[in-house]
């Protein structure tokens, strides 16, 4: 039986591994089949402390992974497909193995919702982004499109006007889903305009490895026009990766794990860190910080069980 198992290999999971390994908990970390989380599809990261010239997402995650391994974390590139949290030790079933653990840290993250376009996938990190805070500064004096109509989309659009020369909100309806106050702020911002009743059907140009425009379709008339732009931001929400924990851990209506007193979940001995429980900040640095918290919470909880 393991003292501690960590599920998830983004900044939260790897930071939790670093701290818990240094505390001699000998953690086992399930990385999933695509280790590294969302930062693996991010090119330049300029807002993570300690890198004065920035760092690419994959390099940052590889550095964290090596650091966790250096202190003795065991890594398994498997997906966890089932957990039983009804009693301790907790039972974890993965693609090729089954384990038991006294404590569990969940850092499975959240997945950005995308438009599911082939061109969008090819241009992620080359002008297509789902995080204005992460990537907005790369678009000084550029023209941007942002897809969405909720509060988060409007917040991101307003944030992007700090850098961009123009931000056009593309929304499939003829009115925003955002709160009235957010809608008013957007309408009053001279850098923001709107494309109503519209959806993006293609992003140009994967062959050039950069965004030069988008094909936008009016859902009422069916007319398609090419809109020049330098970047496309997608702000249509995120889905927390919590399917296997449903019915076992307390979640909010959107499916994010609820934590109290730091990183404690509704089941004693189970902790959550990173975007799987954070639907507000969603940054690499906040995920890493909560991974540190989860490791310390787990270490202290395990010590208390031995008293």
Phi, psi angles (nearest 5°) of residue 186: -65, -45
Token pair of 113 as six digits: 């919702």
CB neighbourhood size of 86 (10 A): 9
**Alpha carbon distances (Å) from 179 to 33, 113, 150, 175, 176:** 39, 21, 8, 11, 8
Which residues are CB-contacts of 307 (< 8 A; sequence separation ≥ 6)? Answer: none
Positions marked catalytic:
131, 134-135
Of the candidates 26, 1, 14, 190, the residue with the CA atom closest to the CA atom of residue 108: 14
> Which residues, 6+ apart, have CB-to-CB distance to 114 below 8 Å?
120, 121, 130, 234
Full DSSP string of 29-86: EE--SSTTGGGGG--EE-SSTT-TT-EEHHHHHHHHHHHHHHTT-EEE---EEEEE-S
């Amino acid at each position: 039986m393991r003292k501690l198992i960590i599920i998830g290999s983004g900044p939260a999971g790897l930071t939790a591994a670093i701290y818990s390994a240094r505390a001699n908990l000998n953690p086992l970390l399930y990385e999933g089949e695509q280790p590294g989380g969302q930062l693996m599809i991010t090119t330049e990261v300029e807002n993570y402390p300690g890198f004065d010239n920035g760092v690419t997402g994959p390099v940052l995650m590889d550095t964290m992974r090596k650091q966790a391994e250096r202190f003795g974390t065991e890594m398994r590139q498997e997906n966890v497909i089932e957990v039983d949290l009804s009693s301790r030790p907790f039972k974890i079933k993965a693609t090729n193995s089954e384990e038991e653990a006294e404590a569990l840290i969940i850092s499975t993250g959240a997945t950005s919702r995308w438009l599911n376009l082939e061109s969008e996938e090819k241009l992620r990190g080359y002008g297509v982004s789902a995080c204005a805070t992460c990537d907005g500064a790369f678009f000084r004096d550029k023209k941007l499109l942002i897809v969405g109509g909720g509060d988060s989309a409007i917040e991101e659009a307003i944030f992007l006007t700090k850098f961009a020369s123009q931000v056009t909100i593309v929304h499939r309806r003829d009115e925003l889903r955002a709160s009235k106050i957010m809608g008013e702020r957007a309408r009053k911002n001279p850098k923001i305009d709107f494309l109503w009743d519209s959806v993006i059907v293609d992003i140009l140009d994967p062959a050039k490895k950069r965004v030069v425009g988008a094909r936008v379709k009016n859902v009422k008339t069916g007319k398609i026009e090419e809109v020049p732009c330098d970047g496309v931001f997608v702000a249509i929400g995120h889905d927390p990766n919590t399917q296997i924990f449903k019915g076992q851990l307390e979640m909010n209506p959107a499916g994010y794990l609820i934590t109290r007193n730091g990183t404690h979940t509704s089941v004693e001995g189970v902790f959550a860190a990173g975007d799987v429980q954070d639907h507000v900040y969603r940054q690499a640095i906040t995920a890493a910080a909560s991974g540190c918290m989860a490791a310390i919470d787990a270490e202290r909880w395990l010590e208390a069980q031995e008293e």
